């Protein structure tokens, strides 16, 4: 009987243990699913990162994520496997002014396009019905490229619910006004659509729908995360709520208010389903406070710490354990990818060869992420596309899919400028691409001013293979004769030319070519100075030339690194092979060299050299060298700039100028520049070492780099003029 009792006790114990295990197993199976909802709010959404840092530290598992706008971006990266700490590094490492623009580095813009890219303040596409406005201020080139670079491993994943953490984001269908739940497709494009603030960012087309910021309809997608299967919802809300009329002081304030009011009803319907509602204090921060990311992250973290007791209570109650998931780290520039082929989408008017040449990738073969990024930037920098993005498909051997949105081939551009020498001017430009030949550009310039200018240019870019540039130009200008720094005569200088050159581009920064042009000059004056220029002079000249051009400056204005160089040699005749009355043609050699050297982030030294040498007999006055003027214009190639002298003040046969600019950025886009130069003006090139006149000058310039171009005020002095003069320049040069 005793053994029977022992046996029964043993069986009972086993049943208890099994029952307990079964209960524990049931508890694990019934562990509630945690959903995370992240609202939109522009830069204020950086506070989400601070909340995620606390969630990571506590080991709270997240099973589902839904987000809108900036909440979709932060949530999307978290769903891929990025930790909160890694997302913080990414955010703090960005240049947000660059990222939230369509700016492309000058080193990726072809040298023959650099000048045009830096002289217009407005650019409009020309459609069949006339001039049109863009869909948004920013197309989003740089932001979509960032998303693609950071999500390389998930380009193949079309179902967002199969990401390490299932994810959805919200966008708005601009045609119907309905909210669209994005849970499949190409993740970078979905994130870009969810954040497309109307009028600021261009909308995105996905599956035939034109999508914009989801915050207009549903800025707090709680019901969507519940529909995914969430039992408990943690919601992070960075919206500021409606502002009073006294607080609506800017474009962004009004835009944010409009979006908030549209979504407020849906927000009220959603908030009742939130179990843990975290709302960081935003204080003075706005949707545009992108440069305050560290402070916003800190605010989110501090607010989340207030909820630690509540989060621990949930963790203990439901035996929540830290997720065992792979922490995803961002790829770096050395990441290697084997690409077996490239496919192109969106090409219609532009040929494959242009894109292939700009990509410059050896396919099939291994490429680095750095090479891919540079190639994408070169394609975008070609100016033929509004957007260029990519997708890597396949497993070990990838197919590189290049998606382009061709830029409207017809554009109308506007520039404005004022300076003390030439007064006010407006530039009207019309540019047509792919006319007669793919990869070509036809441009018409009309300068509206007291002295007008017209120019038309047709360019065929063949890269390293020789391309063709045809140009016709007419320029009506006014030049002066000076004596002891005073104007003593005025000349009406009319100039026309037909120019043809063959040019090869060795990279985006180097070009060389040869050319020939026919030039016509007409000079007249009511009060001439015979020692300065011959008046009522009309003549045709033929010029044959060769040149080398280099421009690797990081910025067109106020560069901090890079060089620019232009060297040219030309023969000038008016009698087939000679000047009338001489045995040989005149020769002109010209060299301009500039190098920017950054001493510190704020201080740059900018040494420059200008030299022009003319030799021959009976050289016409309008082929001499004219020294003076604080900057060099593109109107004439006979001018040598010199700080302290009036524009084209001193004529000579040869001119050599050494200059140093000391540029200090006082604060953002505001510069103080000390300009010093000395030069030698020589009549006889054969005696340049001993003959000639030495001139010295100095100037101080205050400049603001505005959206319409540099705005500069300068004070200058030279030992030749011996008095202080001033100079004003506003806007881009053209």
CA angle, residues 194, 197, 201, in degrees to nearest 5: 100
Torsion of CA 52, 57, 61, 65, to 10 degrees: 10
User: 200 or 529: which carries more pLDDT confidence?
Assistant: 200
Q: Which member of 63, 116, 183, 213 is catalytic?
A: 213
Quote the tokens at residue 186. Answer: 């190409």
The model's pLDDT over 620-629, given as tens digits with 9 standing for 90+, comes to 777 889 999 8
pLDDT at 263: 63
Residue 431 pLDDT exceeds 80 = yes
- Selection from 183-187, 254-258, 537-541 with the highest mean pLDDT: 183-187
- At 521, is the pLDDT very low, low, confident or very high (cuts 50, 70, 90)? confident
- How far CA 449 is from CA of 57, 217, 455, 481, in Å, comes to 66, 49, 14, 22
- Over residues 25-48, the mean pLDDT reads 82
Q: Which residue has the tokens 């963790």?
A: 315
User: Looking at the predicted structure, is the pLDDT value of residue 414 above 50?
Assistant: yes
Give phi and psi for 252, each to the nearest 5. -65, -35
User: What is the mean predicted confidence (pLDDT) over 307-330?
Assistant: 85
Question: Mapped to the 3 state alphabet, what secondary structure does 547-586 carry?
Answer: EEEEECCCCCCCCCEEEEEEEEEEEEECCCCCCCCCCCCE
For the purposes of burial, counting CB atoms within 10 Å of the CB of 344, is it exposed (0-12), middle (13-18) or buried (19 or more)? Answer: middle
The pLDDT of residue 486 is above 70: yes
Segment (H or E) for 53: helix 47-58
* Least confident interval from 221-230, 264-273, 603-612: 264-273
Query: What stretch of H or E contains 234?
Result: strand 232-236
How many residues are present in the chain?
Answer: 734
Number of neighbouring beta carbons within 10 Å of residue 554: 14
Average pLDDT over residues 155-178: 94
**Distance (Å, rounded) from C-alpha 546 to C-alpha 160?**
58
pLDDT of residue 258: 65
Q: Would you say residue 584 has pLDDT above 80?
A: no
Q: What is the structure's pLDDT at 272? A: 84
Closest CA to 478 of 646, 630, 590: 646
Give CA–CA dist 375/700, Å, rounded. Answer: 41
Encoded tokens for 465: 């293979």
DSSP state of 646: -
**Which among 120-124, 129-133, 306-310 has the top mean pLDDT?**
306-310
Of residues 555 and 620, which shows the higher confidence score? Answer: 555
Phi–psi pair at 131, nearest 5 degrees: -70, 135
> Hey, what domains does the chain have and what are their CATH numbers?
34-102+158-318 (3.40.1090.10), 336-406 (3.10.20.310), 415-731 (2.40.160.50)
Residue 678 has pLDDT above 60, yes or no: yes
Looking at residue 536, its pLDDT comes to 43
pLDDT digits (tens, 9 = 90+) for 218-261: 999 999 999 999 999 999 999 876 565 666 666 566 666 666 66
Q: Which residues pair with 493 in a beta bridge?
A: 477, 523
The CA distances from residue 626 to 79, 150, 530, 632, 646, in Å, are 65, 54, 16, 11, 10
pLDDT of residue 92: 94
pLDDT tens-digit profile of 343-381? 999 998 888 888 888 898 998 999 999 999 999 999 998
Burial class of residue 272 in the structure, from the number of CB atoms within 10 Å of its CB (0-12 exposed, 13-18 middle, 19+ buried): exposed
Q: Which pLDDT value is given to residue 689?
A: 54
Greater confidence, 501 or 247?
501
Is residue 404 pLDDT above 90, yes or no?
Answer: yes
* Mean pLDDT estimate for the chain: 86
- What is the Cα–Cα distance from 602 to 555, expressed in whole angstroms? 14
pLDDT top residue among 377 and 505: 377
Catalytic status, residue 69? yes
- Please check whether residue 488 is in contact with residue 482, taking contact to mean a CB–CB distance below 8 angstroms: yes
pLDDT at 354: 82
- Catalytic annotation, pick one of 39, 63, 69, 443: 69
pLDDT of residue 692: 78
Question: What is the spatial distance between Cα 290 and Cα 285, in angstroms, rounded to a whole number?
Answer: 9
Whose structure tokens read 């998930």?
154
pLDDT over 50 (residue 5): no
If 0-12 CB within 10 Å is exposed, 13-18 middle and 19+ buried, where does residue 390 land?
A: buried
Cis link prior to 313 (omega < 30° from 0)? no
Structural tokens at position 79 = 């769903």
Closest residue by Cα to residue 31 from 62, 56, 67: 62
- Give DSSP secondary structure letters for 136-196: EEE--HHHHHHHHHHTGGGTT--BGGGSSS-EEEEEEETTT--EEEE-BS-HHHHHHHHT-
pLDDT of residue 659: 96
What per-residue confidence (pLDDT) applies to 682? 85
For the chain, give me the number of helices (H) and strands (E)? 14, 35
**Which residue did the predictor score with more confidence, 272 or 237?**
237
Give which of 332, 299, 325, 330 is closest to 86, Cα–Cα: 330
Q: Is the model more confident about 473 or about 637? A: 473
Looking at the DSSP assignment, which residues form a beta bridge with residue 481?
A: 489
What pLDDT does 226 receive? 94
Average pLDDT over residues 76-96: 94
C-alpha span between 9 and 664 (Å, rounded):
90
Q: How confident is the model at residue 310 (pLDDT cuts 50, 70, 90)?
A: very high
Average pLDDT over every residue of 545-558 = 93
Q: Which two tokens stand for residue 549?
A: 């051009």
- By the 8 A CB rule, do 546 and 568 touch? yes
- Token pair, residue 237, equals 């809300």
Q: What pLDDT is stored for residue 28 in this prediction?
A: 42
pLDDT in tens, 693-720: 899 999 999 999 998 889 999 999 999 8
Pure H helices in 587-734: none
Neighbours of 41 (CB within 10 A): 30
Mean local confidence (pLDDT), 615-638: 79
> How far is the C-alpha of 366 from the C-alpha of 350, rounded, in Å?
27
Report pLDDT for 616. Answer: 81
Write the DSSP symbol of residue 69: T
Q: What pLDDT does residue 384 have?
A: 87
DSSP assigned state of 106: G
Contacts 24+ apart (CB under 8 A), 27-31: 27/319, 28/319, 31/318, 31/319, 31/320
Tokens of 393: 């498909």
Q: Nearest to residue 683, comparing CAs of 609, 613, 585, 587?
A: 613
Strands (E), 434-532: 440-449, 453-460, 467-483, 486-505, 510-524
Task: Say what angle helices 70-80 and 187-194 make with each other, to 10 degrees.
Answer: 160
Write the DSSP symbol of residue 642.
Answer: B
Task: Kindly indicate the confidence band of residue 161, based on its pLDDT and cuts at 50, 70 and 90.
Answer: very high
- Distance between CA atoms of 123 and 125, rounded to whole angstroms? 7
């Amino acid at each position: 009987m005793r053994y029977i009792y022992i046996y029964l006790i043993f069986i009972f114990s086993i049943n208890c243990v099994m029952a307990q295990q079964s209960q524990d197993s049931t508890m694990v199976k019934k562990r509630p699913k945690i959903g995370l909802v992240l609202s939109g709010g522009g830069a204020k959404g950086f506070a989400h990162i601070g909340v995620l840092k606390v969630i990571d530290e506590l080991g709270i598992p997240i099973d589902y994520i839904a987000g809108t706008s900036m909440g979709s971006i932060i949530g999307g990266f978290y769903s891929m496997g990025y930790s909160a700490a890694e997302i913080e590094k990414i955010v703090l490492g960005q240049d947000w002014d660059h990222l939230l623009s369509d700016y492309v580095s000058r080193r990726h813009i072809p040298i023959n396009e650099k000048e045009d890219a830096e002289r217009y303040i407005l650019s409009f596409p020309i459609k069949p019905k006339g001039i049109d406005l863009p869909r948004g201020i920013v197309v989003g080139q740089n932001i979509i490229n960032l998303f693609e670079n950071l999500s390389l491993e998930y380009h193949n994943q079309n179902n967002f619910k199969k990401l390490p953490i299932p994810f959805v984001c919200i966008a708005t269908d601009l045609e119907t006004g309905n909210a669209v739940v994005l849970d499949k497709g190409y993740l970078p494009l979905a994130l870009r659509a969810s954040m497309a603030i109307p009028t600021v960012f261009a909308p995105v087309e996905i599956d035939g729908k034109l999508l914009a910021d989801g915050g207009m309809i549903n800025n707090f997608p709680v019901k969507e995360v519940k529909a995914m299967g969430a039992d408990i919802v943690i919601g992070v809300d960075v919206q500021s709520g409606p502002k009073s009329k006294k607080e609506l002081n800017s474009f962004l304030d009004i835009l944010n208010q409009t979006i908030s009011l549209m979504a407020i009803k849906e927000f009220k319907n959603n908030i009742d389903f939130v179990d843990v509602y975290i709302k960081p204090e935003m204080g003075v921060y706005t949707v545009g406070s992108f440069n305050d990311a560290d402070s916003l992250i800190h605010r989110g973290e501090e607010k989340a710490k207030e909820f630690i007791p509540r989060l621990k209570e949930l963790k203990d109650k439901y035996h929540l354990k830290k997720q065992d998931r792979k922490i995803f780290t961002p790829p770096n520039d050395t990441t290697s990818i084997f690409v077996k082929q490239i496919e192109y989408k969106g090409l219609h008017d532009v040929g494959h060869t242009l894109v292939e040449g700009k990509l410059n990738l050896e396919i099939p073969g291994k490429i680095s992420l750095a090479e891919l990024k540079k190639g994408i930037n070169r394609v975008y920098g070609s100016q033929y596309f509004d957007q260029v993005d990519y997708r890597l498909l396949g497993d070990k051997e990838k197919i590189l899919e290049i998606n382009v949105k061709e830029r409207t081939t017809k554009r109308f551009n506007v520039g404005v400028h004022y300076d003390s020498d030439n007064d006010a001017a407006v530039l009207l430009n019309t540019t047509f691409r792919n006319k007669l030949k793919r990869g070509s550009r036809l441009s018409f310039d009309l300068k509206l001013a007291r002295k007008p200018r017209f120019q038309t240019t047709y360019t065929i870019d063949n890269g390293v293979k020789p391309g063709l540039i045809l140009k016709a130009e007419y320029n009506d200008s006014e030049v002066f004769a000076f004596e002891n720094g005073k104007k003593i005569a005025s000349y009406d200088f009319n100039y026309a030319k037909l120019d043809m050159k063959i040019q090869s581009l060795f990279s985006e920064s180097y070009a060389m070519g040869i050319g020939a042009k026919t030039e016509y000059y007409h000079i007249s004056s009511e009060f001439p100075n015979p020692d300065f220029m011959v008046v009522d002079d009309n003549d045709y000249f033929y010029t044959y030339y060769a040149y080398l051009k280099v421009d690797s400056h990081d910025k067109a204005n106020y560069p901090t690194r890079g060089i620019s160089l232009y060297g040219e040699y030309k023969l000038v005749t008016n009698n087939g092979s000679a000047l009338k009355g001489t045995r040989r043609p005149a020769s002109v050699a010209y060299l301009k060299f500039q190098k920017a050297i950054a001493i510190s982030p704020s201080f740059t030294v900018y040494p420059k050299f200008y030299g022009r040498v003319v030799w021959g007999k009976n050289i016409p006055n309008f082929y001499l060298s004219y020294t003076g003027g604080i900057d060099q214009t593109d109107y004439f190639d006979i001018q040598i700039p010199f700080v302290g002298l009036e524009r084209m003040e001193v004529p000579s046969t040869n001119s050599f100028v050494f200059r140093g600019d000391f540029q200090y950025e006082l604060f953002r886009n505001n510069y103080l520049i000390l300009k010093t130069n000395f030069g030698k003006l020589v009549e006889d090139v054969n005696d340049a070492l001993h003959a000639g006149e030495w001139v010295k000058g100095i100037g101080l310039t205050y400049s603001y780099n505005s959206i319409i171009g540099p705005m500069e005020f300068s004070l200058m002095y030279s030992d030749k003029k011996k008095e202080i003069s001033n100079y004003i320049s506003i806007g881009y040069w053209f």
